[in-house]
Amino acid sequence: MSAPVITAGFADPVIAAQAHFHALMDALARPGSIHDFPAALDAPAPLTPELAATALTLVDHEVTLWLDAPLAASKAVVDYLRFHTGARIVADPAEAAFALVSDVAAMPALAEFGQGSDEYPDRSTTIVVAVEALAADGSLQLAGPGIRDRARIGIASWPAGLTAEIAANGAQFPRGVDLVFTASGQVAALPRTTRVSEV
Amino acid sequence: MSAVAAPQASGYNFAYLDEQTKRMIRRAILKGIAIPGYQVPFASREMPMPYGWGTGGVQVTAAIIGPDDVLKVIDQGSDDTTNAVSIRKFFAKTAGVATTTETKAATIIQTRHRIPERTLTEKQTIVYQVPIPEPLRFLEPRETETRKLHALADYGLMHVKLYEDIARHGHIATTYDYPVEVADRYVMNPSPTPKFDNPKMHMSEALQLFGAGREKRIYAVPPFTKVRSLDFEDHPFEVQKFDKPCALCAATNVYLDEVVLDDRGGRMFVCSDSDHCEERRAEGHRGELSGEAA
């Protein structure tokens, strides 16, 4: 009988968690800006190293975690996240503090995730999405807190209808979800305050 | 565990707090940034200093600081007071980070009740120590009710308070911890900074984080965010004005502290921001009490 092999977490958990957190903090504070996200992790596919690094940086036994279908279907991914974070993995996205999305095309509607309440808008889901590529100066125009006038970002691939969903998400401020996008070695974010238009 | 940037004090994790605590604080910071001005509850820990000495700010700083950061700590504008010196030493000891008194050299500035005179940049984060984060607390003591008022964006009470100032004193008499509206939504306490500093918060390039240890709240103002001091059309917001320039560096348009010189009514007004004053004197500016160039 062979024990399942779980690959290692960060080589230096303290310093790596700080570095990745700092990138996430900058990304959320300055929506649309793209930050280095080294994510030197050997995570089991389809969990990307960047999704794994975000989970290892922010998720622990105090929070709930939702996984999209491809991630939830992989025992290796579930074992890896259970072992490294201790988080309770939930089936209902509305209950999740964090959601990991490996397949952005099949992501549930933003409204299906936890929206927080008017009294506690912080109790909403932070959705972490793996995408193919992030590019400065892309086709999305951004405005809102954290942005001087206007900012641009390109996110590939951008699902049809997500722009409208983000507008609906922002309209219920202060309730709403926050979106973190990761690509190979990079991270960017669109918090609920950011207004997005396609140009 | 592998080497952690060689903290100078052994037996502690990097920057004192354990990793689980840091994750909890980091999650609160990220939600705070996503909801500008909203007070995120967090599980404030006991720190090796009493409440009221900046435990909230210290926890926020400990959660964000990395080995490459350069930390500056000010207390009422000064780098040299007990609180500032102690906190600076605390992080030098537990995180092994570089510390500075120069505003322009710092990446993280933890502050008790001032914003530096020098304009902060995109590379900097300012961490405020907050005693009472709830702007409505002295008007409505019940947390359940203030939470509801924030949920409904019902800030009439605060306007009544400012109006009563005008009715009694002829002008808005609130001079510090002057309430602000952040990004057109939440009313927030800027911590007991003089209202002189409020305009610096508006569209600041630096990320602003607020930590209240005893009250267990973290909140944030992202860079380039509207911060409006509450006022009335016929009583617009005004900052303090000073009759004289700084007695040491002759600076105008800065916030001055009054220093009593003797028991016969002698007094001087000097920059509250000690780094700003030293920098100006080094540049050759001389005030009326600074004597000749050294």
pLDDT score, position B289? 86
Contact at CB, A22 and B24, closer than 8 angstroms = no
Question: Among residues B56, B77, B211, B277, which one is catalytic?
Answer: B277
Question: Among candidates B271, B253, B163, which has minimal Cα distance to B199?
Answer: B253
Q: For residue B157, is it within any domain?
A: no
pLDDT score, position B68? 95
Three-class secondary structure of residue A44 per DSSP: coil
pLDDT score, position A99? 98
Three-class secondary structure of residue A90 per DSSP: strand
pLDDT score, position B174? 92
Q: For residue B5, is it within any domain?
A: no
- What are the pLDDT digits (tens) for A78-102? 999 999 999 999 999 999 999 999 9
- What are the pLDDT digits (tens) for B170-221? 999 999 999 999 999 999 999 999 999 999 999 999 999 999 999 999 999 9
| HSE toward the beta carbon, residue A4, CA cutoff 13 A | 11
- What are the pLDDT digits (tens) for B197-207? 999 999 999 99
Kindly state the greatest CA–CA separation across chain A.
60
Closest residue to A145, CB basis, from B19, B65, B225 = B225
Same domain? B133 vs B277: no
pLDDT score, position B95? 94
Same domain? B175 vs B214: yes
Same domain? B178 vs B281: no
pLDDT surpasses 70 at A65: yes
- What are the pLDDT digits (tens) for A130-165? 999 999 989 999 999 999 999 999 999 899 999 999
Q: For residue B145, is it within any domain?
A: no
Residue type for B253, please?
N
Residue A35, H or E segment: strand A35-36
pLDDT score, position B4? 37
Residue from B16, B17, B18, B23 whose CB has the most chain A CBs within 10 Å, to mutate: B23
Same domain? B193 vs B127: yes
Q: For residue B111, is it within any domain?
A: yes
Q: For residue B53, is it within any domain?
A: yes
Same domain? B55 vs B78: yes
Q: What span, in angstroms and rounded, lies between the C-alpha atoms of A141 and A153?
A: 7
Kindly state the greatest CA–CA separation across chain B.
64
Phi-psi map region of B52: left, alpha, beta (phi>0 left; psi -120 to 50 alpha): left
- What are the pLDDT digits (tens) for A11-41? 999 999 999 999 999 999 999 999 999 999 9
Same domain? B95 vs B132: yes
ipTM above 0.95, yes or no: yes
Q: Three-class SS string for B46-109?
A: CCCCCCCCCHHHHHHHHHHCCCCCEEEEEECCECCCHHHHHHHHHHHHHCCCEECCCHHHCCEE
**For chain A, what are the domain ranges?**
13-194
- pLDDT per residue of chain B (294 residues) written in tens, 0 to 9: 333 344 566 788 999 999 999 999 999 999 999 999 999 999 999 999 999 899 999 999 999 999 999 999 999 999 999 999 999 999 999 999 999 999 999 999 999 999 999 999 999 999 999 999 999 999 999 999 999 999 999 999 999 999 999 999 999 999 999 999 999 999 999 999 999 999 999 999 999 999 999 999 999 999 999 999 999 999 999 999 999 999 999 999 999 999 999 999 999 999 999 999 999 999 999 998 877 544
pLDDT score, position A157? 87
- The parent domain of residue B105 ranges over 19-137+164-229
Same domain? B172 vs B284: no
Same domain? B23 vs B73: yes
Residue type for B52, please?
G
Q: For residue B216, is it within any domain?
A: yes
pLDDT score, position B55? 96
Three-class secondary structure of residue B291 per DSSP: coil
Average pLDDT, chain A: 96
Q: For residue B14, is it within any domain?
A: no
What residues of A are in the B interface, CB distance below 8 Å?
A: 11-15, 17-19, 21-22, 24-26, 28-30, 57-60, 62-63, 97, 117-122, 124, 126, 145-148, 173-174, 178, 191-193
Rounded to an integer, what is the distance from CA B222 to the centroid of its chain? 14
Same domain? B269 vs B213: no
Phi-psi map region of B153: left, alpha, beta (phi>0 left; psi -120 to 50 alpha): left
pTM: 0.95
- Residues of chain A in contact with residue B108, where contact means CB-CB under 8 angstroms, are none
Residue A70, H or E segment: helix A69-72
Domain count, chain B: 2
Same domain? B113 vs B248: no
Q: For residue B149, is it within any domain?
A: no
Contact B149, B155 (CB under 8 A): yes
- Residues of chain A in contact with residue B40, where contact means CB-CB under 8 angstroms, are 122
Q: Which phi and psi (to 5°) does residue B128 adopt?
A: -95, 140
pLDDT score, position B211? 97
Asked if the bond preceding A46 is cis, omega within 30° of 0, the reply is yes
pLDDT score, position B2? 36
pLDDT score, position B11? 84
CATH of region A13-194, choose from 3.40.50.620, 3.40.50.11310, 3.40.1280.10, 3.20.20.150: 3.40.50.11310
Same domain? B210 vs B117: yes
Beta bridge partners of B16: B13
Q: In sequence order, what DSSP letters do the residues of B192-236 get, joined into one string?
A: S-BGGGHHHHTT-SSEEEEEETTTTEEEEE-SS--EEE--BTTB-
Same domain? B128 vs B194: yes
Residue from A21, A60, A118, A187 whose CB has the most chain B CBs within 10 Å, to mutate: A21
Residue type for B125, please?
T
Three-class secondary structure of residue A47 per DSSP: coil
Can you give the CATH number for the domain in which B217 is found?
A: 3.40.50.11310
Residue in the structure block whose two tokens are 């007094």: B267
Domain boundary among B229, B252, B278: B229
**Is residue B156 annotated as part of the catalytic site, yes or no?**
no
Q: What span, in angstroms and rounded, lies between the C-alpha atoms of B173 and B19?
A: 44
